[in-house]
Protein backbone atom coordinates (compact mmCIF):
# COMPACT_ATOMS: atom_id res chain seq x y z
CA UNK A 1 0.00 0.00 0.00
CA UNK A 2 1.54 3.39 -0.95
CA UNK A 3 1.88 6.14 1.65
CA UNK A 4 -0.74 8.92 1.64
CA UNK A 5 1.67 11.01 -0.49
CA UNK A 6 2.21 8.42 -3.21
CA UNK A 7 -1.43 7.28 -3.26
CA UNK A 8 -2.94 8.64 -6.47
CA UNK A 9 -6.49 9.19 -7.69
CA UNK A 10 -6.52 7.58 -11.13
CA UNK A 11 -9.12 7.65 -13.91
CA UNK A 12 -9.17 4.72 -16.34
CA UNK A 13 -11.46 5.21 -19.34
CA UNK A 14 -12.48 1.94 -20.98
CA UNK A 15 -11.84 0.41 -17.54
CA UNK A 16 -14.50 -2.29 -17.93
CA UNK A 17 -12.85 -3.59 -21.11
CA UNK A 18 -10.29 -6.34 -21.48
CA UNK A 19 -7.08 -4.33 -20.95
CA UNK A 20 -8.71 -1.63 -18.82
CA UNK A 21 -10.07 -4.06 -16.22
CA UNK A 22 -6.63 -5.65 -15.72
CA UNK A 23 -5.09 -2.20 -15.38
CA UNK A 24 -7.76 -1.21 -12.85
CA UNK A 25 -7.02 -4.38 -10.82
CA UNK A 26 -3.31 -3.59 -10.73
CA UNK A 27 -3.85 0.04 -9.71
CA UNK A 28 -6.33 -0.84 -6.95
CA UNK A 29 -3.99 -3.59 -5.69
CA UNK A 30 -1.16 -1.01 -5.60
CA UNK A 31 -3.23 1.08 -3.16
CA UNK A 32 -4.55 3.79 -5.48
CA UNK A 33 -8.08 5.23 -5.71
CA UNK A 34 -9.46 4.27 -9.11
CA UNK A 35 -12.37 5.65 -11.08
CA UNK A 36 -13.42 3.45 -14.00
CA UNK A 37 -15.38 5.16 -16.76
CA UNK A 38 -16.99 3.03 -19.47
CA UNK A 39 -20.13 3.02 -21.60
CA UNK A 40 -20.04 -0.80 -21.81
CA UNK A 41 -20.07 -0.77 -25.63
CA UNK A 42 -17.61 -3.68 -25.82
CA UNK A 43 -16.68 -3.99 -22.15
CA UNK A 44 -18.61 -5.86 -19.48
CA UNK A 45 -19.65 -4.83 -15.97
CA UNK A 46 -18.69 -8.37 -14.92
CA UNK A 47 -15.02 -7.51 -15.63
CA UNK A 48 -15.00 -5.15 -12.63
CA UNK A 49 -17.85 -6.65 -10.60
CA UNK A 50 -15.41 -8.09 -8.05
CA UNK A 51 -14.42 -4.49 -7.15
CA UNK A 52 -17.98 -3.17 -6.78
CA UNK A 53 -17.83 -2.79 -2.98
CA UNK A 54 -14.14 -1.89 -2.82
CA UNK A 55 -13.66 1.41 -0.94
CA UNK A 56 -11.04 2.66 -3.41
CA UNK A 57 -12.97 1.82 -6.59
CA UNK A 58 -15.80 3.64 -8.34
CA UNK A 59 -17.55 2.82 -11.61
CA UNK A 60 -19.16 5.57 -13.71
CA UNK A 61 -21.17 4.55 -16.76
CA UNK A 62 -20.35 7.33 -19.17
CA UNK A 63 -19.53 7.91 -22.83
CA UNK A 64 -16.18 9.72 -23.30
CA UNK A 65 -17.55 11.69 -26.25
CA UNK A 66 -19.39 13.70 -23.58
CA UNK A 67 -17.26 15.91 -21.30
CA UNK A 68 -16.62 14.56 -17.82
CA UNK A 69 -15.75 16.24 -14.55
CA UNK A 70 -13.89 14.25 -11.89
CA UNK A 71 -10.93 15.12 -9.62
CA UNK A 72 -7.93 12.88 -10.34
CA UNK A 73 -4.11 12.94 -10.47
CA UNK A 74 -3.65 10.68 -13.52
CA UNK A 75 -5.71 9.61 -16.53
CA UNK A 76 -5.28 6.43 -18.61
CA UNK A 77 -7.37 6.89 -21.78
CA UNK A 78 -8.29 3.42 -23.07
CA UNK A 79 -11.91 3.92 -24.15
CA UNK A 80 -12.33 2.70 -27.74
CA UNK A 81 -13.51 -0.55 -29.31
CA UNK A 82 -10.39 -2.48 -30.36
CA UNK A 83 -11.59 -5.47 -32.35
CA UNK A 84 -12.09 -4.89 -36.10
CA UNK A 85 -15.65 -6.31 -36.05
CA UNK A 86 -16.61 -3.97 -33.20
CA UNK A 87 -14.90 -0.80 -34.40
CA UNK A 88 -16.36 -1.29 -37.88
CA UNK A 89 -19.91 -1.77 -36.57
CA UNK A 90 -20.41 2.00 -36.12
CA UNK A 91 -17.29 3.53 -37.72
CA UNK A 92 -18.38 7.13 -37.25
CA UNK A 93 -18.80 6.52 -33.53
CA UNK A 94 -15.34 4.87 -33.45
CA UNK A 95 -13.70 8.00 -34.86
CA UNK A 96 -15.77 10.17 -32.51
CA UNK A 97 -14.66 8.07 -29.54
CA UNK A 98 -10.98 8.37 -30.45
CA UNK A 99 -11.02 12.04 -31.41
CA UNK A 100 -13.74 13.72 -29.29
CA UNK A 101 -12.96 11.29 -26.46
CA UNK A 102 -9.30 12.37 -26.58
CA UNK A 103 -10.22 16.06 -26.62
CA UNK A 104 -12.54 15.62 -23.62
CA UNK A 105 -9.91 13.75 -21.61
CA UNK A 106 -7.14 16.19 -22.61
CA UNK A 107 -9.34 19.12 -21.56
CA UNK A 108 -9.93 17.39 -18.23
CA UNK A 109 -6.17 16.84 -17.79
CA UNK A 110 -5.55 20.47 -18.69
CA UNK A 111 -8.05 21.75 -16.12
CA UNK A 112 -6.62 19.47 -13.44
CA UNK A 113 -2.95 19.85 -14.45
CA UNK A 114 -2.59 16.06 -14.33
CA UNK A 115 -0.70 13.43 -16.36
CA UNK A 116 -2.54 11.65 -19.16
CA UNK A 117 -1.64 8.47 -21.05
CA UNK A 118 -3.12 7.50 -24.42
CA UNK A 119 -3.64 3.87 -25.42
CA UNK A 120 -2.58 4.14 -29.05
CA UNK A 121 -1.97 1.18 -31.30
CA UNK A 122 0.34 -0.58 -33.74
CA UNK A 123 -2.45 0.10 -36.28
CA UNK A 124 -0.98 3.60 -36.68
CA UNK A 125 1.71 1.82 -38.76
CA UNK A 126 -1.01 0.40 -41.07
CA UNK A 127 0.28 -2.29 -43.45
CA UNK A 128 3.96 -1.51 -42.79
CA UNK A 129 6.95 -1.50 -45.15
CA UNK A 130 9.33 -1.28 -42.17
CA UNK A 131 9.81 -4.48 -40.21
CA UNK A 132 9.95 -4.70 -37.23
CA UNK A 133 8.25 -1.34 -36.70
CA UNK A 134 10.21 1.33 -34.78
CA UNK A 135 8.43 4.40 -33.38
CA UNK A 136 10.13 6.60 -35.99
CA UNK A 137 8.27 4.85 -38.84
CA UNK A 138 5.34 7.03 -39.99
CA UNK A 139 3.20 4.19 -41.24
CA UNK A 140 1.23 3.20 -44.32
CA UNK A 141 -2.43 3.69 -43.54
CA UNK A 142 -5.32 3.76 -46.00
CA UNK A 143 -7.27 6.92 -45.04
CA UNK A 144 -10.55 5.80 -46.63
CA UNK A 145 -10.84 2.05 -45.99
CA UNK A 146 -12.94 0.09 -43.49
CA UNK A 147 -10.11 0.08 -40.90
CA UNK A 148 -9.50 3.83 -41.22
CA UNK A 149 -12.04 4.82 -38.55
CA UNK A 150 -9.81 3.08 -36.02
CA UNK A 151 -6.36 3.75 -37.53
CA UNK A 152 -6.93 7.39 -38.40
CA UNK A 153 -8.94 8.02 -35.22
CA UNK A 154 -5.97 6.79 -33.18
CA UNK A 155 -3.49 8.75 -35.32
CA UNK A 156 -5.52 11.92 -34.82
CA UNK A 157 -5.68 11.21 -31.07
CA UNK A 158 -1.85 11.03 -31.04
CA UNK A 159 -1.73 14.35 -32.89
CA UNK A 160 -4.04 15.90 -30.29
CA UNK A 161 -1.90 14.59 -27.44
CA UNK A 162 1.27 16.12 -28.94
CA UNK A 163 -0.49 19.41 -29.74
CA UNK A 164 -1.86 19.69 -26.20
CA UNK A 165 1.71 19.20 -25.00
CA UNK A 166 3.16 21.81 -27.41
CA UNK A 167 0.29 24.29 -27.03
CA UNK A 168 -0.68 23.85 -23.36
CA UNK A 169 2.35 22.13 -21.77
CA UNK A 170 0.42 19.01 -20.78
CA UNK A 171 2.28 16.02 -19.29
CA UNK A 172 1.43 13.33 -21.84
CA UNK A 173 2.42 9.71 -22.50
CA UNK A 174 1.61 7.76 -25.66
CA UNK A 175 1.80 3.95 -25.77
CA UNK A 176 1.53 2.12 -29.09
CA UNK A 177 0.08 -1.20 -28.06
CA UNK A 178 0.57 -4.32 -30.21
CA UNK A 179 -1.81 -7.31 -30.24
CA UNK A 180 -2.49 -8.28 -26.65
CA UNK A 181 -4.49 -11.24 -25.35
CA UNK A 182 -5.53 -12.88 -22.11
CA UNK A 183 -8.44 -13.66 -19.80
CA UNK A 184 -11.48 -11.32 -19.93
CA UNK A 185 -11.54 -11.06 -23.70
CA UNK A 186 -15.17 -11.60 -24.68
CA UNK A 187 -15.94 -14.89 -26.48
CA UNK A 188 -17.60 -12.86 -29.26
CA UNK A 189 -14.77 -10.28 -29.35
CA UNK A 190 -13.83 -11.33 -32.90
CA UNK A 191 -10.07 -11.00 -32.49
CA UNK A 192 -7.91 -13.90 -33.52
CA UNK A 193 -6.86 -15.35 -30.16
CA UNK A 194 -10.39 -15.45 -28.73
CA UNK A 195 -11.89 -16.72 -32.02
CA UNK A 196 -9.39 -19.58 -32.34
CA UNK A 197 -9.68 -20.66 -28.69
CA UNK A 198 -13.48 -20.60 -28.72
CA UNK A 199 -13.59 -22.48 -32.05
CA UNK A 200 -11.04 -25.03 -30.90
CA UNK A 201 -12.77 -25.70 -27.56
CA UNK A 202 -16.07 -26.19 -29.39
CA UNK A 203 -14.45 -28.48 -31.98
CA UNK A 204 -15.54 -26.04 -34.70
CA UNK A 205 -13.48 -25.18 -37.81
CA UNK A 206 -10.71 -22.64 -37.18
CA UNK A 207 -11.27 -19.65 -39.48
CA UNK A 208 -7.96 -18.65 -41.07
CA UNK A 209 -8.54 -15.37 -42.89
CA UNK A 210 -6.61 -15.60 -46.17
CA UNK A 211 -3.95 -18.31 -46.18
CA UNK A 212 -2.83 -17.57 -42.61
CA UNK A 213 0.66 -16.46 -43.67
CA UNK A 214 0.19 -12.93 -42.26
CA UNK A 215 2.04 -12.36 -38.99
CA UNK A 216 1.27 -10.85 -35.60
CA UNK A 217 3.22 -10.63 -32.33
CA UNK A 218 1.16 -11.50 -29.25
CA UNK A 219 1.70 -9.94 -25.84
CA UNK A 220 0.19 -11.35 -22.64
CA UNK A 221 -2.00 -8.88 -20.78
CA UNK A 222 0.03 -8.87 -17.52
CA UNK A 223 3.16 -7.80 -19.42
CA UNK A 224 1.26 -5.09 -21.24
CA UNK A 225 -0.26 -3.63 -18.06
CA UNK A 226 3.18 -3.58 -16.48
CA UNK A 227 4.46 -1.58 -19.49
CA UNK A 228 1.59 0.94 -19.27
CA UNK A 229 2.21 1.59 -15.57
CA UNK A 230 5.97 1.93 -16.09
CA UNK A 231 5.33 4.43 -18.88
CA UNK A 232 3.01 6.50 -16.70
CA UNK A 233 5.73 6.61 -14.01
CA UNK A 234 8.50 7.90 -16.33
CA UNK A 235 9.78 11.46 -15.84
CA UNK A 236 7.69 14.19 -17.54
CA UNK A 237 10.29 14.74 -20.29
CA UNK A 238 9.68 11.24 -21.67
CA UNK A 239 6.41 11.21 -23.60
CA UNK A 240 6.80 8.51 -26.22
CA UNK A 241 5.29 7.32 -28.44
CA UNK A 242 6.63 4.00 -27.26
CA UNK A 243 5.87 0.53 -28.62
CA UNK A 244 4.56 -2.00 -26.11
CA UNK A 245 4.30 -5.53 -27.44
CA UNK A 246 5.97 -8.90 -27.57
CA UNK A 247 8.52 -9.14 -30.42
CA UNK A 248 8.02 -12.91 -30.83
CA UNK A 249 6.35 -13.04 -34.23
CA UNK A 250 4.07 -15.84 -35.49
CA UNK A 251 2.07 -16.49 -38.61
CA UNK A 252 -1.65 -16.78 -37.96
CA UNK A 253 -1.46 -20.39 -39.16
CA UNK A 254 1.22 -21.14 -36.50
CA UNK A 255 -1.00 -19.54 -33.87
CA UNK A 256 -3.93 -21.74 -34.93
CA UNK A 257 -1.84 -24.89 -34.71
CA UNK A 258 -0.51 -24.00 -31.27
CA UNK A 259 -4.00 -23.28 -29.94
CA UNK A 260 -5.38 -26.53 -31.35
CA UNK A 261 -2.54 -28.44 -29.74
CA UNK A 262 -2.89 -26.67 -26.34
CA UNK A 263 -6.65 -27.19 -26.12
CA UNK A 264 -6.03 -30.88 -26.79
CA UNK A 265 -8.83 -30.81 -29.33
CA UNK A 266 -7.32 -32.03 -32.58
CA UNK A 267 -10.85 -32.40 -34.02
CA UNK A 268 -10.79 -28.81 -35.27
CA UNK A 269 -9.61 -28.37 -38.84
CA UNK A 270 -8.30 -25.15 -40.35
CA UNK A 271 -10.56 -23.55 -42.96
CA UNK A 272 -9.79 -20.57 -45.14
CA UNK A 273 -12.11 -17.52 -45.00
CA UNK A 274 -11.96 -14.16 -46.76
CA UNK A 275 -9.02 -11.95 -45.79
CA UNK A 276 -10.37 -8.59 -44.49
CA UNK A 277 -9.63 -5.50 -46.61
CA UNK A 278 -6.34 -3.77 -45.67
CA UNK A 279 -5.39 -6.55 -43.22
CA UNK A 280 -1.71 -5.84 -42.39
CA UNK A 281 0.63 -8.51 -43.83
CA UNK A 282 3.12 -8.43 -40.99
CA UNK A 283 3.46 -6.85 -37.59
CA UNK A 284 6.22 -6.98 -35.02
CA UNK A 285 7.29 -4.31 -32.53
CA UNK A 286 10.78 -2.93 -32.20
CA UNK A 287 10.85 -2.54 -28.41
CA UNK A 288 14.33 -1.04 -27.99
CA UNK A 289 12.86 2.26 -26.77
CA UNK A 290 10.69 0.55 -24.13
CA UNK A 291 13.70 -1.48 -23.01
CA UNK A 292 15.88 1.62 -22.69
CA UNK A 293 13.35 4.05 -21.16
CA UNK A 294 11.04 1.78 -19.16
CA UNK A 295 13.44 -1.10 -18.47
CA UNK A 296 10.58 -3.21 -19.83
CA UNK A 297 10.31 -6.29 -21.94
CA UNK A 298 7.64 -9.00 -22.01
CA UNK A 299 8.22 -12.00 -19.71
CA UNK A 300 5.41 -14.33 -20.73
CA UNK A 301 6.00 -16.64 -23.72
CA UNK A 302 3.07 -17.39 -26.03
CA UNK A 303 2.37 -20.90 -24.68
CA UNK A 304 2.53 -19.67 -21.07
CA UNK A 305 0.00 -16.94 -21.79
CA UNK A 306 -2.28 -19.11 -23.89
CA UNK A 307 -2.73 -21.66 -21.11
CA UNK A 308 -4.50 -19.35 -18.59
CA UNK A 309 -6.40 -17.77 -21.49
CA UNK A 310 -7.68 -21.17 -22.61
CA UNK A 311 -8.59 -22.04 -18.99
CA UNK A 312 -10.56 -18.77 -18.74
CA UNK A 313 -12.51 -19.48 -21.96
CA UNK A 314 -13.23 -23.04 -20.79
CA UNK A 315 -14.89 -21.57 -17.68
CA UNK A 316 -16.79 -18.91 -19.63
CA UNK A 317 -18.13 -21.44 -22.14
CA UNK A 318 -19.11 -23.88 -19.38
CA UNK A 319 -21.08 -21.19 -17.46
P1 LIG B 1 -12.04 -3.57 -25.29
O2 LIG B 1 -13.01 -3.42 -26.40
O3 LIG B 1 -12.14 -4.77 -24.42
O4 LIG B 1 -12.08 -2.30 -24.33
C5 LIG B 1 -12.47 -1.02 -24.74
C6 LIG B 1 -13.37 -0.44 -23.67
O7 LIG B 1 -13.74 0.90 -24.05
C8 LIG B 1 -14.67 -1.22 -23.52
O9 LIG B 1 -14.92 -1.49 -22.16
C10 LIG B 1 -15.73 -0.30 -24.12
O11 LIG B 1 -17.01 -0.49 -23.56
C12 LIG B 1 -15.13 1.07 -23.82
N13 LIG B 1 -15.63 2.11 -24.69
C14 LIG B 1 -15.74 2.09 -26.05
N15 LIG B 1 -16.23 3.25 -26.51
C16 LIG B 1 -16.44 4.04 -25.41
C17 LIG B 1 -16.95 5.34 -25.22
N18 LIG B 1 -17.33 6.09 -26.26
N19 LIG B 1 -17.04 5.83 -23.96
C20 LIG B 1 -16.65 5.07 -22.89
N21 LIG B 1 -16.17 3.83 -23.01
C22 LIG B 1 -16.07 3.32 -24.26
O23 LIG B 1 -10.60 -3.46 -25.94
P24 LIG B 1 -9.16 -3.58 -25.29
O25 LIG B 1 -8.42 -4.63 -26.01
O26 LIG B 1 -9.25 -3.66 -23.81
O27 LIG B 1 -8.51 -2.19 -25.72
C28 LIG B 1 -8.36 -1.11 -24.81
C29 LIG B 1 -7.60 0.00 -25.46
O30 LIG B 1 -6.30 -0.44 -25.86
C31 LIG B 1 -8.28 0.55 -26.72
O32 LIG B 1 -8.13 1.95 -26.75
C33 LIG B 1 -7.51 -0.10 -27.84
O34 LIG B 1 -7.54 0.70 -29.02
C35 LIG B 1 -6.12 -0.18 -27.25
N36 LIG B 1 -5.37 -1.28 -27.88
C37 LIG B 1 -5.63 -2.57 -27.56
C38 LIG B 1 -4.92 -3.59 -28.20
C39 LIG B 1 -5.14 -5.04 -27.88
O40 LIG B 1 -4.55 -5.89 -28.54
N41 LIG B 1 -5.90 -5.41 -26.87
C42 LIG B 1 -3.96 -3.26 -29.18
C43 LIG B 1 -3.77 -1.92 -29.50
C44 LIG B 1 -4.46 -0.93 -28.83
N1 LIG C 1 -7.79 -13.54 -38.14
C2 LIG C 1 -8.03 -14.82 -38.62
N3 LIG C 1 -9.14 -15.47 -38.17
C4 LIG C 1 -10.00 -14.94 -37.26
C5 LIG C 1 -9.72 -13.64 -36.75
C6 LIG C 1 -8.60 -12.97 -37.23
O7 LIG C 1 -7.28 -15.35 -39.46
O8 LIG C 1 -10.97 -15.62 -36.89
C9 LIG C 1 -6.56 -12.84 -38.62
C10 LIG C 1 -6.81 -11.43 -39.13
O11 LIG C 1 -7.13 -11.46 -40.52
C12 LIG C 1 -5.48 -10.78 -38.86
C13 LIG C 1 -4.97 -11.47 -37.59
O14 LIG C 1 -5.71 -12.69 -37.50
O15 LIG C 1 -4.58 -11.04 -39.91
C16 LIG C 1 -5.19 -10.65 -36.34
O17 LIG C 1 -6.54 -10.24 -36.31
P18 LIG C 1 -7.16 -9.45 -35.08
O19 LIG C 1 -8.54 -9.07 -35.47
O20 LIG C 1 -7.00 -10.24 -33.84
O21 LIG C 1 -6.23 -8.18 -34.90
P22 LIG C 1 -5.63 -7.10 -35.92
O23 LIG C 1 -5.95 -7.48 -37.33
O24 LIG C 1 -6.30 -5.83 -35.51
O25 LIG C 1 -4.19 -7.12 -35.66
Residue 5 pLDDT exceeds 70:
no
Rg (CA), the chain: 19
Per-residue model confidence (pLDDT) at position 192: 98
**Residues belonging to the active site:** 150
User: For 202-231, how does the pLDDT look when each residue is reduced to its tens digit (9 = 90+)?
Assistant: 999 999 999 999 999 999 999 999 999 999
The CATH number, out of the four listed (3.40.50.720, 3.40.630.30, 3.40.50.1700, 3.30.540.10), of the domain defined by the range 9-318: 3.40.50.720
Residue 268 pLDDT exceeds 90:
no
The answer to whether 32 touches 56, Cβ cutoff 8 Å, is: yes
DSSP-derived letter for residue 126 is B
CA atoms of 288 and 242, how far apart (whole Å):
9
Q: Which of 26-40, 80-94, 96-110, 266-280 has the lowest mean pLDDT?
A: 266-280
Per-residue model confidence (pLDDT) at position 1: 66
The answer to whether 274 touches 207, Cβ cutoff 8 Å, is: no
The residue whose CA has the least distance to atom 35 of ligand 1 is 119
**19-41 average pLDDT score:** 98
Per-residue model confidence (pLDDT) at position 6: 85
CA 298 vs. chain centroid, Å, equals 15
The residue whose CA has the least distance to atom 25 of ligand 2 is 179
Task: Name the nearest CA neighbour of 249 among 161, 133, 138.
Answer: 133
**144-158 average pLDDT score:** 98
Report the relative pairing of strands 249-251 and 215-217 from DSSP bridges: antiparallel
Q: In DSSP terms, which residues pair with 36 in a beta bridge?
A: 12, 59
Query: How many Cβ atoms are within 10 Å of 123's Cβ, its own excluded?
Result: 27
Query: How many Cβ atoms are within 10 Å of 48's Cβ, its own excluded?
Result: 25
The answer to whether 52 touches 77, Cβ cutoff 8 Å, is: no
Report the relative pairing of strands 242-244 and 172-177 from DSSP bridges: parallel
Per-residue model confidence (pLDDT) at position 228: 98
Ligand 1 atom closest to the Cα of residue 16 is 9
Per-residue model confidence (pLDDT) at position 90: 97
Dihedral in degrees, nearest 10, Cα atoms 100, 106, 110, 114: 150
Ligand nearest to C-alpha 66: 1
User: For 162-218, how does the pLDDT look when each residue is reduced to its tens digit (9 = 90+)?
Assistant: 999 999 999 999 999 999 999 999 999 999 999 999 999 999 999 999 999 999 999
CA 110 vs. chain centroid, Å, equals 24
The answer to whether 10 touches 74, Cβ cutoff 8 Å, is: yes
The residue whose CA has the least distance to atom 21 of ligand 1 is 38
| Reported pTM | 0.98
> Residue 271: helix, strand or coil by DSSP?
strand
**99-119 average pLDDT score:** 98
Per-residue model confidence (pLDDT) at position 4: 64
What is the chain's mean pLDDT, rounded? 96
Cβ < 6 A, ligand 1 pocket: 13-14, 16-20, 38-43, 63-65, 78-82, 97, 101, 119, 121, 177, 179-180
Q: In DSSP terms, which residues pair with 38 in a beta bridge?
A: 61
Q: Give kind and range of the element (H or E) at residue 219.
A: strand 219-220
Among 192, 198, 269, 283, which residue has the most ligand 2 atoms within 8 Å of its CB, making it the best to mutate?
Answer: 192
User: For 44-74, how does the pLDDT look when each residue is reduced to its tens digit (9 = 90+)?
Assistant: 999 999 999 999 999 999 999 999 999 999 9
> Residue 97: helix, strand or coil by DSSP?
helix
Amino acid sequence: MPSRDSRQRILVTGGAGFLGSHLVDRLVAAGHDVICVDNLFTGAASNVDHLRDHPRFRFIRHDVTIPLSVEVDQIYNLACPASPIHYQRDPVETTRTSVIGAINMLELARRLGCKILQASTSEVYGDPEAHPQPEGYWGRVNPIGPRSCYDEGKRCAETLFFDYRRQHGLAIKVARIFNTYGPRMQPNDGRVVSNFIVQSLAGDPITLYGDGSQTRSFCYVDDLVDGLIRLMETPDDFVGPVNLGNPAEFTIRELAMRIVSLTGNSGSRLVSATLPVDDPRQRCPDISLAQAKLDWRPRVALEDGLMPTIAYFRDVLRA
